Amino acid sequence: MLQKINAFAEYLENVKRASKNTIASYRRDLVKLYHFLTESGCTAWDQVTGSNLNAYVLRIEKQGLSTATISRNIASIKAFFLYLLKQGVISEDPSEILKPPKIEKKTPVILTTEEVGLLLEQPGGSSPKDIRDKAMLQLLYATGIRVTELITLKVRDVNLSMNFLQCRDGNNKERVIPFTNETRDALDDYLKNARAAMCREEQDALFTNCQGVPMTRKGFWKIVKYYSAKAGIKKDITPHTIRHSFAMHLVNNGADLRAVQEMLGHSDISTTQMYMKAKEDTRLKEIYERAHPRANVS
């Protein structure tokens, strides 16, 4: 049974061109399902029934996993059994009965422009680390790229003469994103005065950690947490908060939604539309507080 999971992972990588994170998540979900099924007496995928899968979903629900995690597990299962059906391993798809739980979409945490300014001001020193941190934060807010995209950038991806970078998402789709003169200056300072001191060996990664190897997601997450605390910002900030803030500030200032979608790398415009909804919600709240006679009575 594990062989089929491995074959599915290869299919995701070679045929579907899925990202490494997606493949790892699907494999992890399916291996857990495999252990559950073998405990239940199933020794082959064509023995699995809808009842088996329902029982598994019930178990992970009782473990207190988030709705998003349960939904991802169900997506993994459905994709896998569809693959088995197409491969002729099974004649019927038992996962058809599974329905993902409804996910309540939360309004993303957005920084004000003042909070962004405070955050970007924090790495103000002249050490190579300070110069690197300033360049990373500036670039993240100027372009709205994902943290994985940020830490996998190569030196050749940045064009300082034209103020843009080439970015690749998890599916290796490329997009070109402009950045500000302020960001260009921060990157120029980093490349000329800090990167050589940060790198311990020859490599093409744009940003490295203090050990001279490419920055990790966790490492950059710690950087954002450190500087947000230093700035006295009370909101729970992650690297993705900066991406949300980039998009929200563009929309608030009249940017075309299609252009924002392209810069963010969203495949579906409906994902980008949440920023329009957030803008409208904020506008209505402001109108209410100005107009309602008891809106500010405590």
Q: Is residue 104 part of a domain?
A: no
Q: Is residue 254 part of a domain?
A: yes
Of the candidates 142, 124, 141, the residue with the CA atom closest to the CA atom of residue 133: 124
- Distance from C-alpha of 70 to C-alpha of 79, rounded to nearest angstrom: 14
Indicate whether 126 pLDDT > 70.
yes
- Distance from C-alpha of 128 to C-alpha of 193, rounded to nearest angstrom: 7
Q: Is residue 105 part of a domain?
A: no
Q: Is residue 107 part of a domain?
A: no
Q: Is residue 297 part of a domain?
A: no
pTM: 0.63
- Sign of the Cα torsion 278, 280, 282, 284 reads negative
Q: Are residues 71 and 165 in the same domain?
A: no
Q: Are residues 126 and 264 in the same domain?
A: yes
Which of 97, 121, 146 finishes a domain? 97
- Residue 195 DSSP SS3: helix
For 210-268, the pLDDT digits (tens) are 888 888 999 999 999 999 999 999 998 999 999 999 988 988 888 888 888 888 887 76
Q: Are residues 132 and 213 in the same domain?
A: yes
Q: Are residues 74 and 17 in the same domain?
A: yes
Which of 97, 129, 146 finishes a domain? 97
- Distance from C-alpha of 209 to C-alpha of 292, rounded to nearest angstrom: 52
Which residue type sits at 162?
M
Domain count, the chain: 2
Indicate whether 9 pLDDT > 70.
yes
Indicate whether 290 pLDDT > 80.
no
Of the candidates 144, 143, 146, 167, the residue with the CA atom closest to the CA atom of residue 157: 167
Which of 97, 122, 138 finishes a domain? 97
Of the candidates 210, 179, 204, the residue with the CA atom closest to the CA atom of residue 191: 204
- Distance from C-alpha of 166 to C-alpha of 174, rounded to nearest angstrom: 7
CATH of the domain at 35: 1.10.150.130
User: Tokens representing 31?
Assistant: 């291996």
**What is residue 103's predicted lDDT score, i.e. its pLDDT?**
63
**What is residue 102's predicted lDDT score, i.e. its pLDDT?**
73
Q: Is residue 296 part of a domain?
A: no
Q: Are residues 76 and 156 in the same domain?
A: no
For 56-70, the pLDDT digits (tens) are 999 988 888 888 888
Q: Hunting for tokens 């979903």 — which residue is that?
A: 57
Q: Is residue 276 part of a domain?
A: yes
**What is residue 283's predicted lDDT score, i.e. its pLDDT?**
64
Q: Are residues 71 and 144 in the same domain?
A: no
Higher pLDDT, 132 or 288: 132
For 200-223, the pLDDT digits (tens) are 767 789 999 988 888 899 999 999
Indicate whether 298 pLDDT > 60.
no
Q: Are residues 121 and 262 in the same domain?
A: yes
Instruction: Please answer whether residues 136 and 153 qualify as being in contact, where contact means their C-beta atoms are separated by less than 8 angstroms.
Output: no
Q: Is residue 208 part of a domain?
A: yes
Domain that holds residue 201: 113-288
Q: Are residues 119 and 253 in the same domain?
A: yes
For 178-187, the pLDDT digits (tens) are 999 999 999 9
The neighbouring-strand residues paired with 165 are: 158, 177
Q: Are residues 192 and 71 in the same domain?
A: no
Q: Are residues 165 and 275 in the same domain?
A: yes
CATH of the domain at 268: 1.10.443.10
List, in sequence order, the alpha helices (H) in 162-216. Answer: 181-193, 195-198
Q: Are residues 136 and 213 in the same domain?
A: yes
Q: Are residues 255 and 215 in the same domain?
A: yes
